[in-house]
Amino acid sequence: MIAGLRALLNRFPGLKRLLRYLLQALPAAGVSSHYVRLEGEQATAESSRLRAAWQAQELPARQRELVERQLATYRHGESVDVFDIMVRALRDLPSDVRGLSLLEIGCSSGFYSEVLDIAGFGVGYAGCDYAEPFIALARQKYPALRFDVADATALRYADEAFDIVISGCCLLHIPEYRAGVAETARVARQYAIFHRTPVVLGQPTVYYRKQAYGVETVEIHFNEPQFLSLLADCGLEVIATYTLDESVSHRVGAANRTYVCKKSTP
């Protein structure tokens, strides 16, 4: 039944967006709820107050509960939109990824290693996250893989240490996201992928306070042209874009996209 509902929603993106909106509006019903838009000084103050929010002890178990369901669906050969986009992004790269090294920044419990494994990529996966509880769970789930506690804005890897670097839907929680992009670019040798990036068009970057799995966090929706010029400033050339969802309301656009970049040659 769940598979049928998912297939139906994939055929009708408008219905899917409506359902997602309703889930967010209901208290604690979805992964993300209680969105409050932050303005001016409040955006700066709240994003620094909540910078460490994802280090909360209770988050890994709550997120993993959802992830286990998604992984089970995916193992059965059914579609999971966020996984599908990552898999397409890697499949479409100009070079074969087999045997390449790959780092996921903001890896949580490392579940994308399993997604890439199911998809049969044969990459050398490593993950890092600033939250010790997430990394402890990742090491428990995938003991053969390398996981490090590391902040996305100050990585301890050498320049060009990994062939592919995935910024795993973490920039939106990081007030110093410019440093996060620069670090992603620095440690990538060939490609940098900014997965599930919320962007807006026709308005400046927007800050929200929200609850993620019942924990108060900040979520940044980047003005898309500014985000793209930040990528270019960090020596990254966008070679593909994948859109998870997209909407326009009152001449203001919003989207959630995965940007695939190639390191520009100096």
| 138 part of the interface to ligand SAM, by CB under 6 A | no
Length of the chain in terms of residues written: 266
The burial of 7, by beta-carbon neighbours within 10 Å (0-12 exposed, 13-18 middle, 19 or more buried), is given as exposed
Q: Which is nearer to ligand SAM, 38 or 67 (CB)?
A: 67
Q: How far is CA 95 from CA 89, 160, 164, 210, 266, in A?
A: 12, 17, 11, 39, 20
Show contacts with ligand SAM in window 88-107 (CB under 6 A): 104-107
| 174 part of the interface to ligand SAM, by CB under 6 A | yes
Separation CA 78–CA 73 (nearest Å)? 6
Output the DSSP codes for 242-264. EEEEEEEETTEEEEEEEEEEEEP
**Residue from 9, 30, 74, 108 that binds ligand SAM (CB under 6 A)?**
108
Separation CA 95–CA 45 (nearest Å)? 43
**Residue from 196, 209, 210, 221 that binds ligand SAM (CB under 6 A)?**
196
**Residue from 80, 89, 100, 151 that binds ligand SAM (CB under 6 A)?**
151
**Residue from 114, 129, 163, 183 that binds ligand SAM (CB under 6 A)?**
129
Output the DSSP codes for 147-194. EEE--TTS--SPTT-EEEEEEES-GGG-TTHHHHHHHHHHHEEEEEEE
| 152 part of the interface to ligand SAM, by CB under 6 A | yes
Stretch binding ligand SAM (CB under 6 A), from 68-76, 130-138, 232-240, 244-252:
130-138
| 157 part of the interface to ligand SAM, by CB under 6 A | no
| 170 part of the interface to ligand SAM, by CB under 6 A | yes
CB of 61 to ligand SAM, least distance (A): 13
| 134 part of the interface to ligand SAM, by CB under 6 A | yes
3-state secondary structure 59-93: HHHHHHHHHHHHHHHHHCCCCCHHHHHHHHHHHCC
Residue pair 247/254 in contact (Cβ under 8 Å)? The answer is yes
Q: Which is nearer to ligand SAM, 97 or 107 (CB)?
A: 107
Q: Which is nearer to ligand SAM, 198 or 206 (CB)?
A: 198
CB of 174 to ligand SAM, least distance (A): 5
- What are the structure tokens assigned to 87, written together? 């898999």
Q: Which is nearer to ligand SAM, 74 or 134 (CB)?
A: 134
Residue nearest to ligand SAM (CB): 168
Q: What are phi and psi of 13, to 5 degrees?
A: -60, -30
Total binding residues for ligand SAM by CB under 6 A? 20
| 242 part of the interface to ligand SAM, by CB under 6 A | no
Footprint of ligand SAM (CB under 6 A): 54, 104-108, 129-131, 134, 151-153, 168-170, 173-174, 195-196
